[in-house]
Amino acid sequence: MSRKAPNGLRTAGTGAGNPSSSGLPIISSDDMCPVCKTIRYLNKDMEFLINPECYHTMCVNCVNRLFNDGPNQCPYAGCHRTLRRKGFRSAFFGDLSVEREVDIRRRVAAVFNQVEDDFETLRDYNNHLQTVEDLTFDLVSGAEPRRAAAEATLQRWEAEHKAEIERNRRAGREADEQSRRRLAAERDAARHRRAEAVREAEEEKMERERTREAELDSLAQGAEGGGVGGPQRVQLKRRGQAASRAVEAAVGAAVTTAADVGRLSIRGLKEKKRGPAAEGPYDPFGGMDFVPSRYQVRPGLAHPGIDKYRLDPGHVTGGYSFDEHTARAMFEAFAGLGVFIEDEKEVGIGLDAGEVATISAGISAVGDRMELD
Amino acid sequence: MEFNIDDLPVLFPYPRIYPETLDAGGNCVLEMPSGTGKTVTLLSLIVAYQQFYPSHRKLIYCSRTMSEIEKALVELHALMKFRTERLGYEEEFRGLGLTSRKNLCLHPSVKREKSGNVVDARCRSLTAGFVKEKKERGEDVEVCVYHDNLDLLEPHNLIPNGIWTLDGLLRHGEQHKQCPYFTARRMMQYCNVIIYSYHYLLDPKIADRVSKELSKDCIVVFDEAHNIDNVCIESLSTDITEDSLRRATRGAQNLENKINEMRDSDQQKLQDEYEKLVEGLRGADDGRQEDSFMANPTLPDDLIKEAVPGNIRKAEHFVAFLRRFIEYLKTRMKVRQVISETPPSFLAHLKEYTFIEKKPLGFCSERLTSLVRALELTNIEDYQPLQEVATFATLVATYEKGFLLILEPYESDTAEVPNPVLHFTCLDAAIAIKPVFDRFSSVVITSGTMSPLEMYPKMLNFPTVVQESYSMTLARRSFLPMIVTRGSDQASISTSFQVRNEPSVVRNYGSLLTEFAKITPDGMVVFFPSYLYMESIISMWQGMGILDEVWKYKLILVETPDAQETSLALETYRTACCNGRGAVLLCVARGKVSEGIDFDHQYGRTVLCIGVPFQYTESRILKARLEFLRETYRIRENDFLSFDAMRHAAQCLGRVLRGKDDYGLMVLADRRFARKRAQLPKWINQALLDADTNLSTDMAVSSARRFLRTMAQPFRAKDQEGISTWSMTDLRRHQEKMGEERIRELQAERDLEREHEAAAMAAQAAADGRESDYEMDEEDEAQLMALDIPS
State pLDDT tens for residues B32-67: 665 556 677 777 777 777 777 666 678 888 888 777
Percentage of chain B exceeding pLDDT 90: 19
pLDDT higher than 90, residue A309? no
pLDDT higher than 70, residue B14? no
Three-class DSSP category at B484 = strand
How would you label A90-108 residue by residue, b for 16+ Cβ within 10 Å and e otherwise? ebebbbbbbbbbbebbeeb
Whether residue A137 and residue B320 make contact (CB cut-off 8 A), yes or no, is yes
Query: In this complex, is the C-beta atom of A112 within 8 Å of any C-beta atom belonging to chain B?
Result: no
Task: Name the DSSP class of B258.
Answer: H
Over residues B141-151, the pLDDT tens digits come to 777 888 888 87
pLDDT higher than 50, residue B116? yes
pLDDT higher than 70, residue A348? no
Q: Which of B311, B353, B789 sits opposite A132 (nearest CB)?
A: B311
Which pLDDT score is estimated for B514?
A: 94
Return the HEC string of chain A: CCCHHHHHHHHHHHHHHCHHHHCCCCCCCCCECCCCCCECCCCCCCCEEECCCCCCCEEHHHHHHHHCCCCEECCCCCCCCEECHHHCECCCCCCHHHHHHHHHHHHHHHHCCCCHHHCCCHHHHHHHHHHHHHHHHHHHHCCHHHHHHHHHHHHHHHHHCHHHHHHHHHHHHHHHHHHHHHHHHHHHHHHHHHHHHHHHHHHHHHHHHHHHHHHHHHHHHCCCCHHHHHHHHHHHHHHHHHHHHHHHHHHHHHHHHHHHHHHCCCCCCCCCCCCCCCCCCCCCCCCCCCCCCCCCCCCCCCCHHHHHHHCCCCCCCCCCCHHHHHHHHHHHHHCCCCCCHHHHHHHCCCCCHHHHHHHHHHHHHHHHHHHHC
Top-ranked range on mean pLDDT: pick from A23-37, B67-81, B520-534: B520-534
Q: Which of B278, B331, B345 sits opposite A94 (nearest CB)?
A: B331
What does the mean pLDDT of chain B come to? Answer: 79
Contacts A95 to B, Cβ<8 Å: 323, 327, 330
Q: In 3D, which of B454, B578, B597, B598 has the Cα closest to residue B523?
A: B578
Residues B495, B533: Cα–Cα separation, whole Å? 9
Phi-psi region of B402 (alpha: psi -120 to 50; beta: other; left: phi over 0): left
Task: Name the DSSP class of B721.
Answer: B
pLDDT higher than 70, residue B374? yes
| Spatial CB neighbours of B108, under 8 Å, sequence gap ≥ 6 | none
Decide if B196 contacts B207 (C-beta within 8 A): no
CA distances from B483 to B600, B609, B640 (A): 22, 10, 22
The alpha carbon of residue B346 is apart from the nearest alpha carbon of chain A, in Å, by 11
Whether residue A130 and residue B313 make contact (CB cut-off 8 A), yes or no, is yes
Which pLDDT score is estimated for B329?
A: 93
* Chain B residue closest in CA terms to A17: B249
Contacts B330 to A, Cβ<8 Å: 93-95
Residues B84, B11: Cα–Cα separation, whole Å? 10
Q: Which of the two residues, B791 and B467, has the higher pLDDT score?
A: B467
How would you label B748-760 residue by residue, b for 16+ Cβ within 10 Å and e otherwise? eeeeeeeeeeeee
pLDDT higher than 90, residue B536? yes
Contacts B313 to A, Cβ<8 Å: 126, 130
Query: In this complex, is the C-beta atom of B330 within 8 Å of any C-beta atom belonging to chain A?
Result: yes
- Alpha-helical (H) ranges within B363-460 are 364-375, 384-398, 429-439, 455-460
| Burial class, A353, CB count within 10 angstroms (exposed 0-12 / middle 13-18 / buried 19+) | exposed
Q: Which of the two residues, A368 and B185, has the higher pLDDT score?
A: B185
Query: In this complex, is the C-beta atom of A257 within 8 Å of any C-beta atom belonging to chain B?
Result: no
Contacts B467 to A, Cβ<8 Å: none
The angle at the Cα of B113, spanning B110 to B118, to the nearest 5 degrees, equals 85
Residue type, B133: E
Q: Which of A94, A128, A305 sits opposite B786 (nearest CB)?
A: A305
Query: In this complex, is the C-beta atom of A138 within 8 Å of any C-beta atom belonging to chain B?
Result: no
Q: Which of the two residues, B726 and B80, has the higher pLDDT score?
A: B80
What does the mean pLDDT of chain A come to? Answer: 73
Whether residue A98 and residue B355 make contact (CB cut-off 8 A), yes or no, is no
The mean pLDDT of A207-221, rounded to a whole number, is 91
Which pLDDT score is estimated for B586?
A: 93
Phi-psi region of B556 (alpha: psi -120 to 50; beta: other; left: phi over 0): beta
Over residues B205-263, the pLDDT tens digits come to 777 777 666 777 778 888 888 888 888 888 888 899 999 999 999 999 999 998 888 88
Query: In this complex, is the C-beta atom of A137 within 8 Å of any C-beta atom belonging to chain B?
Result: yes
Which pLDDT score is estimated for B55?
A: 65
Residues B34, B346: Cα–Cα separation, whole Å? 46
Top-ranked range on mean pLDDT: pick from B177-181, B261-265, B378-382, B641-645: B641-645
Contacts B309 to A, Cβ<8 Å: 126, 129
Residues B329, B421: Cα–Cα separation, whole Å? 11
The mean pLDDT of B630-646, rounded to a whole number, is 87
Over residues A117-155, the pLDDT tens digits come to 778 888 888 888 888 888 898 888 888 888 899 889 989
Whether residue B327 and residue A137 make contact (CB cut-off 8 A), yes or no, is no
Task: Name the DSSP class of B465.
Answer: S
A261-275, A290-304, B222-236: least confidently modelled range: A261-275
Choose the mutation target among A92, A129, A194 for the interface with B, i.e. most B CBs under 10 Å.
Answer: A129
- pLDDT band at residue B755, thresholds of 50, 70 and 90? low
Contacts A98 to B, Cβ<8 Å: 323-324, 327
Residues B364, B312: Cα–Cα separation, whole Å? 9
Whether residue B348 and residue A183 make contact (CB cut-off 8 A), yes or no, is yes
Residues B704, B519: Cα–Cα separation, whole Å? 8
Choose the mutation target among B327, B336, B633 for the interface with A, i.e. most A CBs under 10 Å.
Answer: B327
Q: Which of B310, B334, B785 sits opposite A128 (nearest CB)?
A: B310
pLDDT higher than 60, residue B22? no
Phi-psi region of B452 (alpha: psi -120 to 50; beta: other; left: phi over 0): beta
- pLDDT band at residue B774, thresholds of 50, 70 and 90? very low
The mean pLDDT of A56-76, rounded to a whole number, is 88
Q: In 3D, which of B618, B602, B452 has the Cα closest to residue B530?
A: B618
Contacts B788 to A, Cβ<8 Å: 329, 332-333
Q: Which of the two residues, B345 and B269, has the higher pLDDT score?
A: B345
Q: How far apart are the first and last CA of chain A?
A: 78
Which pLDDT score is estimated for B175?
A: 86
- pLDDT band at residue A321, thresholds of 50, 70 and 90? confident
- pLDDT band at residue B87, thresholds of 50, 70 and 90? confident
Over residues B456-501, the pLDDT tens digits come to 888 888 877 767 776 666 666 788 899 999 998 999 999 888 888 8
- φ, ψ (nearest 5 deg) of residue B32: -130, 145
B4-18, B32-46, B638-652: least confidently modelled range: B4-18
| Spatial CB neighbours of A158, under 8 Å, sequence gap ≥ 6 | A111, A165
Query: In this complex, is the C-beta atom of B314 within 8 Å of any C-beta atom belonging to chain A?
Result: yes
Residues A5, A78: Cα–Cα separation, whole Å? 9
The alpha carbon of residue A280 is apart from the nearest alpha carbon of chain B, in Å, by 39
Contacts B791 to A, Cβ<8 Å: 305
* Length in residues, chain B: 791
Question: Beta-carbon neighbour count of residue B545 at 10 Å?
Answer: 10
Chain A segment 187-246 residues within 8 A of B by beta carbon are 190, 193-194, 197
Query: In this complex, is the C-beta atom of B634 within 8 Å of any C-beta atom belonging to chain A?
Result: yes
The mean pLDDT of B320-329, rounded to a whole number, is 92
pLDDT higher than 50, residue B307? yes
Which pLDDT score is estimated for A340?
A: 78
A18-32, B598-612, B698-712: least confidently modelled range: A18-32
Whether residue B781 and residue A295 make contact (CB cut-off 8 A), yes or no, is yes
pLDDT higher than 70, residue A276? no
Percentage of chain A exceeding pLDDT 90: 6
Which pLDDT score is estimated for B326?
A: 93
Contacts B311 to A, Cβ<8 Å: 129-130, 132-133
